[in-house]
Structure 1
């Protein structure tokens, strides 16, 4: 039996899938009882009793989502959606059986009443309930934004249908109650979502010029409009307050809004005003405000971030980081630490030039050359501002990818300088914790892994740190544990899986025609094509290109029909396979070169430094490529294999072994990511074990090791169970 799905989650789904298909539920007697309850039929409340013990499973369809739900849960939901809670006479969580529910009904038989205007049953009248509402000044930007909506909202059908517009024209404060009544009447239910909730709340704010907070479920204080989504308790508290206090609101003709002189209102401040500019449609204003807030008072910024972070539907400007309030919280702590310790986090003019260059669209060869230049020319003092601005510009993926590789190699090459300098080591520890607290995927989470295998020498240096900062002392203990962990190549004994198996000889034309007949629709056909072509080997590449050229894939479809050439064979340099000229150039190289020569050709074209001066393979250079160049962005989750797949194919051809892996890098159809991480680890071990390395290589692990240990091995363990 599937677990019952919490009501909040169902409502969340309903936000994106408003269409409700009744399915088997509509055919059940419980559905008819629910409709009667919604119309105020108190007898239906009693007829619902036996369903509280029913374990019968009914199907429900919510948009595209198929659900299986016990009748007992549906019964409880019918009561919850149509009874005014919170209610001192009933604790819904205690009603777990027909007996509990029957006792409740019998004890309150003469008290249960129906409120037609609100379409809900109740026991305690609204005016006898306690309210939990607070007011504060509206930030200027927020007030200006919602005031512009006044005419628009007053022309809404629900405003006119309830004569709220007429009451407002009369300057009658009863309009405040009517707004709340209609908002509660339209409260969210399993299959109903009030998409105009924002209008109701904005109108209350326009008429009072106040920001309004209401206590919702679990005593959670709701301020933002979006927070009211799915929280009927918060809406009820608004209704209770205005029902009892609306007469205290008096219209001020000069100000054009209601004033309540007895109202205690929290003052707003400059930082609260700044937060509103994060919603500005102008990218420059929003981003500059974000930067300013990241350097503002840590306590106040974190207070507002904590409030805002509770709202999972908050819609700030799209140029800001994906989780803006998490980032702001972490960045304000970081910049506060920098200021206290006189650490430059703004960076030089030259550094900003580098950041802009890395953020731009440049060729792979130019980007790699530029990354390598920075690795050799940056200073330790450049790292803090480079990381800071990479977090600010989280929406620049090219920057995040390059910075991740630069930091990984730079920290490795300069590790001795860092751990032997107490100030640098302390800073590194502080950053490692604050970055990990931001709560986003990426290599910013793996700083502590650099301590792996540092041994007792590393512990001694950590013990010398005299900081009393609890963050740093906490990280010291974690780093010590990492020092005692031994590095070992995390080789996976499993060589094949659903996306990694030997290629097959396929009759492409015949199989394509079969798919035309059997595919249910165009999406099914495209997926079938990708799955079919993912089976082919190197020898069928020309034939595959010829057949694919004749197939039309819809724009923005499941995937690019040529995606397999990069993902399955490692041809990372060719980005626009749709261009026939580029395909023809590739075929020309393919036909005039052996397989090994072809991989060398494209590695050379990309400017990859993998050879000696005499043109022979330099295994030491390749070892470093395998270690660092499968990159997870500084903030992000996608592994970018870059040239590593091609290098591995070159090694396989050079050493005449695949180390037991299939003959292709991947069979990519249906695979979200397909990087050759396992092969990279095993080839590094192979190069070392076969004594092909002539140089000493740093024992400091890459960030990719942290990613691999943290994620991949965890998944491997889960799958093994």
Structure 2
């Protein structure tokens, strides 16, 4: 009932508080004319003409969207939706006045007809027009999928109403026209969308055992109704073709489909068949097919990937990468390059064991220890299959996160080795471009940032590379420019914002009770509670636990009342705060340790190497932690804080300064995630300027620097521009 009242209220506001609308479209004369035109009332076309001169605005709805539309546009829309005039006869968009439209009607008075079969006015009959269609052989995998689907389609109402099922049983080719007519009658209109387009198309495809391409929007050939270029014009082209050619189709009893012996169609191939298996519900089949395609002919894979990428509503098997066709396009090019240069990208059995372990559920301590082991153990050659399989298994988040950190540190440690090996350097450049073209967030986009401030000596090494590969020559020029870019710690002068401010002493119990009384509903209560608790500091943690114990959150809202402990204090080791045993264990540590001791305790528990032999903070080790251990996955957009927040809190307590930042790492309120990147940059600068570092640290930047420049600084500049 509340939802109904809200919708009625919204409707009331939209109806009477609009600024320009002079009435409701559905109550207007032009709307009544549109309904008459849809039914074939030719007189209504003439009566519609005056509205082409009207600038009057009417209010209308598209779903929940409120619109105010000029009557002249509504008139054009009524004509566009209910006529099939050719562009030579009349271009609706070019109508600029009622006189122009009336002149057209008078000139063609006797020629304009109405077809109830397609519910549209026309001048040139459908079977006298030029068709724009193409055909190709139907892949076996797609035919098998259609064979399972067709019985369900044949039970639908439009099949029975138009006697299509009977025509199929009688093997009459007229059924092909009937399907197209039904399809066109159900064409998309402003306020009506046919969500079952594929059923019409699939039935046609099945009956002639051919894939059908039809010219639609942007004059593009669409082979699927999910192609964003597939529109009403594509349906009309199907209707034109079959209206003209249905008699050429003859039922073949042995094959159980219609055959047109004069029909020319493109041959299918193994790769086309494989692409259909990407939609297979069997995970193993889909994944193995994806792997095979990633190593197949580049040109063919790219052709079909581009086509499938346009089918934005079709979803391949979920086990595949998020953007499977973008991945395939780049992976096929990469594996082709590997094959041409005799580079192993499959990897050893030993490497696959490492990949499976990184993909498994590991504790933080286990994962970090294993990552560090691999950084020391792997060879440069091992990185090639490690990257390849990380892209194949993109849906394994643990693998992507670990591989990102491993690659970042490994490339930095071995940068000189790469620079001084022309083959390795060339390969690095090639990969850097193909990875960046995948079109997904992640550290795979930031390979070239490693050249930052490398200087003229590295430019000389880049100039020595002689390649006919345009990808490599393109990246050489980009890398040379980056070599001359100056690195500076990207520190923001603005250190507080809505998601991070100094903690406050709050009467949690009293304020919680007040919110319970003043909140509009439970949803509002939960949001306000999270805001309230985000204000507290370290000293109020026990009190917060006690009060939260008695507050119930609706699990369906996906809000976690303990989320502040995950985000606000740097307690990276503890994952399941909802578990009372976990909370009790934490409180035991909290009560028996000072704040500084608590952070040291959890860093030690995680196996973080941050101390020297005397047990004191090793600032050189901490510098490397700050540099590399805020991790963006190899593919993905999440920025993982890991132990960096805890290390920063330890530094603040050790050096007795927060460098001007709030006393809390974050005030999440269930909304914000505040990876301490800004603090990490500034603490690295602090350690260097205060001469606390005893070792020389590599000047090669981390992938995180690339992420920061690409995402954070860009976002910051946009905001600054908007605020000026």
TM-score range, shorter chain: over 0.9
- Residue 265 of structure 1 is matched in structure 2 by 265
- Residue 21 of structure 2 is matched in structure 1 by none
- Give the deviation of 1:675 after TM superposition: 1.1
- Give the deviation of 1:61 after TM superposition: 4.3
- Residue 204 of structure 1 is matched in structure 2 by 204
Cα distance in 2 for partners of 1:675, 1:100 equals 63
Question: Taking structure 1 as reference, are residues 57 and 268 closer, same or farther at Cα in structure 2, changes over 3 Å only?
Answer: same
- Give the deviation of 1:687 after TM superposition: 1.0
- Give the deviation of 1:46 after TM superposition: 4.5
1:627 corresponds to 2:627: yes
- Residue 660 of structure 1 is matched in structure 2 by 660
SS at match of 1:214: strand
- Residue 249 of structure 1 is matched in structure 2 by 249
- Residue 418 of structure 2 is matched in structure 1 by 418
Does structure 1 conserve the Cα–Cα contact (< 8 Å) formed by 2:222 and 2:230?
no
Question: Taking structure 1 as reference, are residues 464 and 522 closer, same or farther at Cα in structure 2, changes over 3 Å only?
Answer: same
Q: What are the Cα deviations for residues 148-176 of structure 1, in whole angstroms up to 9, with x where unaligned?
A: 22322222111001111111111111111
Q: What are the Cα deviations for residues 26-54 of structure 1, in whole angstroms up to 9, with x where unaligned?
A: 34554444333323334444454555566
Matches within 5 A, 1:72-471: 72-84=72-84, 87-95=87-95, 104-105=104-105, 108-227=108-227, 231-471=231-471
Does structure 2 conserve the Cα–Cα contact (< 8 Å) formed by 1:138 and 1:268?
yes
- Give the deviation of 1:99 after TM superposition: 6.5
Question: Taking structure 1 as reference, are residues 86 and 461 closer, same or farther at Cα in structure 2, changes over 3 Å only?
Answer: farther
- Give the deviation of 1:135 after TM superposition: 1.1
Question: Taking structure 1 as reference, are residues 73 and 652 closer, same or farther at Cα in structure 2, changes over 3 Å only?
Answer: farther
- Give the deviation of 1:600 after TM superposition: 1.2
SS at match of 2:572: coil
- Which stretch has the larger CA shift, 41-50 or 561-570? 41-50
Does structure 2 conserve the Cα–Cα contact (< 8 Å) formed by 1:527 and 1:558?
no
- Give the deviation of 1:100 after TM superposition: 5.9
Cα distance in 2 for partners of 1:52, 1:613 equals 86
Q: What are the Cα deviations for residues 302-345 of structure 1, in whole angstroms up to 9, with x where unaligned?
A: 11112111111121111011111110010000000000000000
Question: Taking structure 1 as reference, are residues 81 and 210 closer, same or farther at Cα in structure 2, changes over 3 Å only?
Answer: same
Cα distance in 1 for partners of 2:263, 2:683 equals 72
Does structure 1 conserve the Cα–Cα contact (< 8 Å) formed by 2:409 and 2:702?
yes
In the alignment, structure 2 segments of 5+ residues that lack a partner are 1-9, 16-23
Cα distance in 1 for partners of 2:567, 2:100 equals 59
- Residue 484 of structure 1 is matched in structure 2 by 484
- Which stretch has the larger CA shift, 210-219 or 481-490? 210-219
- Give the deviation of 1:684 after TM superposition: 0.9
Question: Taking structure 1 as reference, are residues 675 and 83 closer, same or farther at Cα in structure 2, changes over 3 Å only?
Answer: farther
Cα distance in 2 for partners of 1:202, 1:428 equals 45
Cα distance in 2 for partners of 1:563, 1:71 equals 52
Question: Taking structure 1 as reference, are residues 562 and 30 closer, same or farther at Cα in structure 2, changes over 3 Å only?
Answer: farther
- Give the deviation of 1:380 after TM superposition: 0.3
1:41 corresponds to 2:41: yes
1:538 corresponds to 2:549: no
- Residue 554 of structure 1 is matched in structure 2 by 554
Question: Taking structure 1 as reference, are residues 55 and 448 closer, same or farther at Cα in structure 2, changes over 3 Å only?
Answer: farther
Cα distance in 1 for partners of 2:189, 2:628 equals 51
Question: Taking structure 1 as reference, are residues 594 and 472 closer, same or farther at Cα in structure 2, changes over 3 Å only?
Answer: same
- Which stretch has the larger CA shift, 529-538 or 483-492? 529-538
Q: Alignment RMSD, CA only?
A: 2.1
SS at match of 2:555: coil
Does structure 2 conserve the Cα–Cα contact (< 8 Å) formed by 1:638 and 1:673?
no
Cα distance in 2 for partners of 1:221, 1:648 equals 57
Cα distance in 1 for partners of 2:606, 2:27 equals 64
Question: Taking structure 1 as reference, are residues 95 and 665 closer, same or farther at Cα in structure 2, changes over 3 Å only?
Answer: farther
Cα distance in 2 for partners of 1:706, 1:428 equals 16
Question: Taking structure 1 as reference, are residues 463 and 258 closer, same or farther at Cα in structure 2, changes over 3 Å only?
Answer: same
How many equivalent residue pairs?
A: 702
Runs of 4+ with deviation above 6 angstroms = 20-23
Q: What are the Cα deviations for residues 213-267 of structure 1, in whole angstroms up to 9, with x where unaligned?
A: 1111111111124227861111111011111111111111222111111111111
- Residue 616 of structure 2 is matched in structure 1 by 616
- Which stretch has the larger CA shift, 466-475 or 107-116? 107-116
SS at match of 1:226: coil
Cα distance in 2 for partners of 1:48, 1:648 equals 71
Cα distance in 1 for partners of 2:395, 2:511 equals 42
SS at match of 2:211: strand
What is the TM-score normalised by the length of structure 1?
0.93
Cα distance in 1 for partners of 2:558, 2:33 equals 44
1:472 corresponds to 2:508: no
Q: What are the Cα deviations for residues 532-567 of structure 1, in whole angstroms up to 9, with x where unaligned?
A: 211222122111111111122222424211111121
Does structure 1 conserve the Cα–Cα contact (< 8 Å) formed by 2:462 and 2:476?
yes
Cα distance in 2 for partners of 1:660, 1:223 equals 59
SS at match of 2:562: coil
- Residue 522 of structure 1 is matched in structure 2 by 522
SS at match of 1:227: coil
- Residue 7 of structure 1 is matched in structure 2 by none
1:686 corresponds to 2:663: no
Question: Taking structure 1 as reference, are residues 106 and 493 closer, same or farther at Cα in structure 2, changes over 3 Å only?
Answer: farther
Cα distance in 1 for partners of 2:262, 2:67 equals 50
Does structure 2 conserve the Cα–Cα contact (< 8 Å) formed by 1:503 and 1:536?
yes
- Give the deviation of 1:509 after TM superposition: 2.3
- Which stretch has the larger CA shift, 563-572 or 482-491? 563-572
- Residue 9 of structure 1 is matched in structure 2 by none
- Give the deviation of 1:66 after TM superposition: 4.9
In the alignment, structure 1 segments of 5+ residues that lack a partner are 1-19
- Residue 710 of structure 2 is matched in structure 1 by 710
Cα distance in 1 for partners of 2:121, 2:524 equals 49
- Give the deviation of 1:656 after TM superposition: 1.4
1:567 corresponds to 2:567: yes
Does structure 2 conserve the Cα–Cα contact (< 8 Å) formed by 1:566 and 1:572?
yes
- Give the deviation of 1:133 after TM superposition: 1.0
